[in-house]
Amino acid sequence: MLDFIKTVTTQETSEETKLELLKESVQRNVSSEEMAQIVRYIKTYQTIKLDFPEAIDVCWTGGSNLPRINTSTISALVLWMLWVKVLKHWNKASSWRFWSFDLLEWLWYNLEADEKEMMENHEKNNIAFLFAKTFFPIMKEFGQVRQEYGKPTIFNILGPLLAPANPKIQIIGCSAEDKMQLMAETCKLLWRESVMIVRWEDGLDEVTLRWKTKIVELKDWEISTYYLSPKDFWVESCSFEEISWWDPEFNIDMAKSILNGSCKTRHTDLVIVNTALALKLLWVEQDLEKGVYLIREKLWYLN
């Protein structure tokens, strides 16, 4: 796969040739060592250089195709409200479907912010939204061929690994269970310090309020796998219908109500458990119950 990427980025290649090379490349399994090499190679094309190693990077891979609110964006904002330094890395393909653009526009966030503005905003406000296209325009070279191929490839998990602001701490939602270990091992090779790869049993790339959530965690240079259930967060389980979405307008209204503390549905609990897991990753000595209490207290105060 690395050879395919190098060929596309360094040579004049027709879309037909790209497709042939991609089909040939996906027949071989990609190791964590090759994934790390791919990340390092693509980052040589990064157009804006940022360095926020002390911030937590929140990034979901998408791909579950399940109707849900944009939990990761709202969770990142709740973390910011708790004075946590946050990076929200995202791309247009997945975010358009789940209305991140509309939400960020509602927040008056400049989607076209340049390097200086992003640095100043993070230094002053402790938050930055990192639009992948801004940092890696080279990735457009793969857009058409990926669409023509029409099947998942390593490109579907590449976004969170690129992490343009070089964070040491990440929480990554991944809908592909067979890629979770690969992502964790790659993060280790990239010298990330603390990472959680998250997926629930039905394929949603976040913590769920239904059944169990699988966690693959990198901590102290060791990788472990375990499961969490709603009771670990001291919340009740619920059906997926209670935390799903209906349309973009509903989702924006839901985000507003969660962030101002007036939401009365289980969507609040969904955001709370995902935020609490991020707090646990940041503050190792804090248990999940304390994190849930802290978040509820903050949202209650806002209301």
Domains and CATH numbers, the chain: 50-136+163-302 (3.40.1030.10)
Spell out the residues 6+ positions from residue 247 whose beta carbon is closer than 8 angstroms to its own: none
> In terms of DSSP bridges, do strands 213-219 and 194-200 run parallel, antiparallel, or are they unpaired?
antiparallel
Cα gap 61→172, rounded to integer Å:
7
Do 300 and 263 form a contact (C-beta atoms < 8 A)? no
Closest by CA to 61, choosing from 9, 126, 132, is 132
Closest CA to 172 of 82, 80, 254, 63: 63
- What pLDDT, on the 0 to 100 scale, is given for residue 106? 66
CB 169 within 8 A of CB 282: yes
Distances (CA, A) of 261 to 246, 257, 299: 21, 6, 5
Mean pLDDT by groups of 10 residues along the chain of 303 residues: 95 94 91 97 93 89 68 90 88 50 66 77 84 88 93 91 94 92 98 94 81 94 96 92 78 87 92 94 82 90 67
